[in-house]
Amino acid sequence: MTEHSAPPRVPFWRSPTGRAWAFQAVMLGSFLWLAVSMYRNTLENLKTRGIGSGFGFLHSEAGFRIGEATGIPLPQGGFLYFLISLAVGLFLSRILARHLKARNEAPLETGWFGLCLLLSIGLPTATLYIFRDSVEIAHYTESSSYIMALATGLANTLKVAVIGCVASTFLGLFIALGRLSPNWLLSRLCRWYVELNRNLPVLMQLFFWYFVVFQELPGVKQSIDLGGWIILNKRGLFLPGLVPQQGAWLFVAALITALCGCWLVLRRAKRMRDETGEPGKRLVPCLLLMLGLPSLAWLAGGTPFLLDFPVLKGFNYSGGMGLTPEFTALVVGLTVYVSAFNAEIIRSGIEAVSRGQREAARALAMNERQVMRIVILPQAMRVIVPPMTSEYLAIAKNSSLAVAIGYPEFVSVGGTILNQSGQAVEIVGIWMGVYLCISLCISFAMNMYNARIALVER
Amino acid sequence: MHTQTYTATHLGDAPVVIDIKGLNKWYGQFHVLKDINMQVRKQEKVVICGPSGSGKSTLIRTINRLEEHQEGVITVEGTPLTNDVRHIERIRREVGMVFQQFNLFPHLTILENVTAGPIHVRKMPRKEAEAIAYTYLERVGIGEQARKFPGQLSGGQQQRVAIARALAMQPKVMLFDEPTSALDPEMIKEVLDVMRELADQGMTMICVTHEMGFAREVADTMVFMDKGQIVEYATAEEFFTAPREERCRMFLDQILNH
Amino acid sequence: MVHDIPDRLPPAATVGVWGWIRANLLCPWYNALLTAGSLYLIWRAVVPFWNWAVVNASISLDPAVAKQHSGAAWGFLREMWPVFMTGIYPAEERWRPLLALCLVLVMVGLTLLRPLRRATWLRAAWLATHLLVFAIIRGGGFTGLPAVGTHYWGGLMLTILLASVAMIAAFPISILLALGRTSNMPIARPFCVAYIELIRGVPLITILFMASVVLPLFLPSNMELDKLLRAMVGITMFFSAYLAENIRGGLQGLSRGQYEAADALGMSYWQKIRVVILPQALRIVIPPMVNNFIGILKDTSLVGIVGLVDLLQIAFATTSNPKWFGRLEEAYVFIAFWYWVLCFGLSSYSQHLERKIPSAGK
């Protein structure tokens, strides 16, 4: 019988865990000391300079102009009901889908899927329509609070970020396809486009677009006029605007319903293809839906939108949708810059799929479209999505450079508030907090997507 | 200078399935296939061997247009192999290929891998395609793994799935490009067993391989290639007992006696 | 006996210049369309630029003469290029940055010479070089050279200085962060994660603002931080988070066997890290690190927003001079050239390295 003896007690300073703890204790201690002394210094410095602290100042009146005051829907009344019904609808449809999936493994029947769509999209749309009169959209004025100013700045940032992400993805896709094309000239051109844009700083490109391109545009009287639809001059880019009328809500609701209907039609066509080998009818029902439903809404509700063309009045164009040179330069500059990176990401994603995959698909007699759709793209997406998401994050962060060309986005507005109120610590904290939230949301979504499509291996 | 057309006269009147006339291929300036004239008959089992760089893989890859040839005419089941996409796709439907690196689609399950061809190319309904797929998966001994992904299987299992995937298209000819060269030794046997069974059931096969034991058992015709041309073409018996060419003798010596 | 068939040349239509043109530009029909479209694009883009830059340009040093030409005024660059290089550094002291640059180039050349690469004195020499470069450019004190304050530094010199200092200073910090993040110490690890994720989630401009405006508040009121130093702190903090993620990738790319072998030899933690793990991990991630460095080089252009005059800002500074007013395009071409050469050169080098360095075995 062997005796089990307890392991000898090792002196604290010789065991690995003991050392790790000692190290961490020192680290924590010095960090705390640093934090406390920084805190003390800050309080003292703020007192000497007569700067207040705390977040109460955010309610004070702003008193400065913001060039582009995007409307912000206030979280009360109609908009609030919309948000609640959206959350409820998504939650219910998710539970329904999960319950049905647990019962049988196959993808949802068209009918059940339609019900889920109804819950997650139809319900919020209907709620928004019913309560449309109580939706308030606030616009920033000089007498609004600092909070309103910051919210407007954030809305501007998001506007630029979303447009930039979408546009740069499409542009990047085109450039990537050009790069992959067998045409030597096109391929080289695209390569030089990418090399040019990737190796120049984004701020420099923004300056280029703003100072060199947009300031060199002709004055108002000699604007570049493309048939009255697009007008380009020193004061900005003018496009015809959509002015919502009586029938606007109904029209938009009908449009959304038509889109959902098309989704259902496509799903059903796919199921029929699975069952009989022949795809179900797709083109005619979709056309009917997309043209028919909105037309019915037009008849029932009256004209949905009026086109408001920009008209030259005095020294500037008024009416229509006017995009300032700052906004246009920012969007164009960011799009062009990021599209170069996106093109590289897409190209390397497609090339990362090994040649053997393409050969195996071709050996099965699949045509080029099928090879791309069934074999190459699904595998390429796994390689493309993570770096693409960092690029989207980069657009959101690079939009902060607008402070250098005077577009009033989040950092720009915050900078003005910082200069006015002097409360730098709070403003910098707000900046970091908001951008961190945006980053975390996008990362979270990306991680979920990645987990779902990860290749299953041993 | 025309060489003779190699054809399996010992198979009598069996119809010619693949007819290669005057095939020449270049990679840039490098003359990689020289004046190949060969015929493959129905139900014939051809094994092509030779030193590396002799062009054997290139030859079978030109048959289903994975490689283009610059001179010569290849006719498969009566359809000439040209740049015409319709001809190419028609030929690829009748010619199945198994690769050295398996090349299974990692993002699809085993079942989806095997049904991909029937569903998208032969436009079968899903149920019918799955039934066919299960038949062939059972035949290669992998039926119970149908719901798994390729990454979860061993090399030998993956190659057997690749064979089932090619068979599910119900081709007239099967091409094998060194199917066991990437496998660990203990898995080679399971793949060769499947190929042996396929041969017994009367499939027309062209196989590039170094497995001489398998070749001896299964082949009707042995082809030895060196430096891009066919050097020796004989029945299996002649080839292994009395090869005519010196190079072929040396190669067999090396392969069989290491 | 089978005779060897002699090698032949491939049919004419498939090779040679004509064959290549046919294959790559003209067949099939949509290729020809794409070629035509591309040529048109090139024509529309290149010809006006060529006219501006070469045909209608003037190289006269006299602004009046240059105004008569409708194209570029390269005389502007002929006169002002030292300002682009070193900012408003006093003209008579310009030999000092030049000396510092030569010193660095000599060191780089020595490092690239293979036989000397392993020499231990090389590392000490590099450290000394950095201090010497600063001393030469800054002057004052014991060097006996007239002091040139940091607000005179600018231009390309400032850009390279910022990027290099950030790289060097961030390195040890990043190593510690990466080690902390991959360890399982319950206090150090969340701290490292929080730092890295916080910095990576916010734009550089906010960090620069923080360093310029908020950092002075954290310090005792009698400490006055140089503007350049604040920007350096900001960029270093920013860079350290990204570099830490690179290094972490390298640490995780190493197989567990390396750690186990080092432990089996009885090495202590720091020995293991220093001798076995880090050299391998760093080698693997040199290409992404070089890419990060290129990013930092481009990001130094943001310091213009917090008041420093780097290469990008010089464009505005020089063109607001009434003598050469509004010559922004020429300035941009010059700046773009330098940024492009540096970044493209570094990225070519990193691609070259990627081909040479084998990836870690798993």
Higher pLDDT, C29 or B217: B217
Name the segment(s) of chain C with CATH classification 1.10.3720.10: 80-89+148-356
Q: Is the pLDDT of residue A355 over 70?
A: yes
- Give the confidence band of C141 by pLDDT, cuts at 50, 70, 90: low
Please report, for chain B, the start and end positions of each structural domain, with discontinuous segments joined by +: 16-104+173-257
Q: How far apart are CA B258 and CA B250, in angstroms?
A: 12
Q: Digits of tens for pLDDT over chain B (258 positions)?
A: 456 778 877 777 889 999 999 999 998 888 999 999 999 999 999 999 999 888 999 999 999 899 989 899 999 988 999 888 888 989 999 999 999 999 999 889 999 999 999 988 888 888 899 999 999 999 999 989 899 999 999 999 999 999 999 999 999 999 999 999 999 989 999 999 999 999 999 999 999 998 899 999 999 999 999 999 999 899 988 898 888 888 888 888 888 776
- The chain B residue lying nearest C2, using CA atoms, is B231
Q: Please indicate whether, in this complex, the C-beta atoms of A277 and B123 are within 8 angstroms of each other.
A: yes
pLDDT score for C362: 29
pLDDT score for A1: 47
DSSP state string for chain B: -PPPPB--GGGTTPPEEEEEEEEEEEETTEEEEEEEEEEEETT-EEEEE-STTSSHHHHHHHHTTSS--SEEEEEETTEE-SS-HHHHHHHHHHEEEE-TT----TTS-HHHHHHHHHHHTS---HHHHHHHHHHHHHHTT-GGGTTS-GGGS-HHHHHHHHHHHHHTT--SEEEEESTTTTS-HHHHHHHHHHHHHHHHTT-EEEEE-S-HHHHHHH-SEEEEEETTEEEEEEEHHHHHH--SSHHHHHHHHHHH--
Q: Is the pLDDT of residue C208 over 90?
A: yes
In chain A, % of residues over pLDDT 70 = 95
Which of A278, A364, A382 is the closest to B121 by Cβ? Answer: A364
Higher pLDDT, A401 or C9: A401
Question: 3-class SS at C225?
Answer: coil
Residue C134 Cα to chain centre, angstroms = 19
pLDDT score for C343: 92
Q: Identify all chain A residues contacting B132, using CB atoms and an 8 Å cutoff.
A: none
Q: How far apart are CA C175 and CA C273, in angstroms?
A: 10
- The chain C residue lying nearest B244, using CA atoms, is C1
Q: Identify all chain B residues contacting C15, using CB atoms and an 8 Å cutoff.
A: 26, 28-29
Q: Is the pLDDT of residue A8 over 90?
A: no
Hey, is the C-beta of C9 within 8 angstroms of any chain B C-beta? yes
Amino acid at C18: W
Q: How far off is chain A from C238, nearest CA to CA, in Å?
A: 13
Selected residues 21-50 of chain A with any CB under 8 Å from a CB in chain B: none
Q: Identify all chain C residues contacting B3, using CB atoms and an 8 Å cutoff.
A: 2, 5
pLDDT score for A263: 84
Q: Please indicate whether, in this complex, the C-beta atoms of B116 and A367 are within 8 angstroms of each other.
A: no
A178-205: average pLDDT: 91
Selected residues 25-44 of chain B with any CB under 8 Å from a CB in chain C: 26, 28-29, 31, 34-35
Cis, bond preceding C28 (omega within 30 deg of 0): yes
Q: Identify all chain A residues contacting C34, using CB atoms and an 8 Å cutoff.
A: 181, 183, 185-186
Q: Are the C-beta atoms of residues C241 and C200 closer than 8 Å to each other?
A: yes
Instruction: Tell me the pLDDT tens digit for each residue of C163-194.
Output: 888 888 898 999 999 998 888 888 888 889 99
Q: Identify all chain B residues contacting C9, using CB atoms and an 8 Å cutoff.
A: 29, 31
pTM for the full predicted model: 0.84
Instruction: Tell me the pLDDT tens digit for each residue of A203-243.
Output: 999 999 988 888 778 877 777 777 777 888 888 888 888 78
Which of C2, C7, C11 is the closest to B70 by Cβ? Answer: C11
Q: Identify all chain C residues contacting B1, using CB atoms and an 8 Å cutoff.
A: 5
* Total residue count of chain C as it appears in this document: 362
Q: Are the C-beta atoms of residues B8 and B221 closer than 8 Å to each other?
A: yes
Q: Please indicate whether, in this complex, the C-beta atoms of B70 and C5 are within 8 angstroms of each other.
A: no
Q: How far off is chain B from A360, nearest CA to CA, in Å?
A: 6
Instruction: Tell me the pLDDT tens digit for each residue of C255-278.
Output: 878 888 888 888 788 888 888 888
Q: Please indicate whether, in this complex, the C-beta atoms of A27 and C213 are within 8 angstroms of each other.
A: no
Instruction: Tell me the pLDDT tens digit for each residue of A12-71.
Output: 666 777 777 888 888 888 888 888 888 888 888 888 877 777 788 888 887 888 877 778
pLDDT score for C360: 39
C201-215: average pLDDT: 91
Kindly give the interhelix angle for A16-49 and C188-201, rounded to the nearest 10 degrees.
Answer: 50
Q: How far off is chain B from A456, nearest CA to CA, in Å?
A: 6
Q: How far off is chain A from B94, nearest CA to CA, in Å?
A: 9
pLDDT score for A234: 80
Q: Is the pLDDT of residue A247 over 80?
A: no
Fold of C80-89+148-356: MetI-like fold (1.10.3720)
Among B70, B230, B231, the strongest candidate for a mutation testing the C interface, having the largest count of C CBs within 10 A, is B70
Q: Is the pLDDT of residue A264 over 50?
A: yes
Tell me which residue of A106, A126, A122 sits closest to A114, measured CA to CA: A122
Q: Is the pLDDT of residue A2 over 70?
A: no
Hey, is the C-beta of A106 within 8 angstroms of any chain B C-beta? no
Query: A touches which chains (3+ CB pairs under 8 A)?
Result: B, C
- The chain A residue lying nearest C223, using CA atoms, is A41
Question: Phi and psi at residue B150, in whole multiples of 5°?
Answer: -55, -35
- The chain A residue lying nearest C211, using CA atoms, is A428
Selected residues 157-196 of chain A with any CB under 8 Å from a CB in chain C: 181-186, 189, 195-196
Least confident of A158-162, A195-199, A262-266, A397-401: A262-266
CATH code matching the domain that covers B16-104+173-257, chosen among 3.40.50.300, 3.30.70.580, 1.20.120.530, 3.60.130.10? 3.40.50.300
Which of C5, C9, C15 is the closest to B35 by Cβ? Answer: C5
Q: Identify all chain B residues contacting A379, using CB atoms and an 8 Å cutoff.
A: 105-107
Q: Is the pLDDT of residue C132 over 60?
A: yes
- The chain B residue lying nearest A369, using CA atoms, is B120
Q: Identify all chain A residues contacting B107, using CB atoms and an 8 Å cutoff.
A: 378-379, 382, 453, 455
ipTM of the complex: 0.85
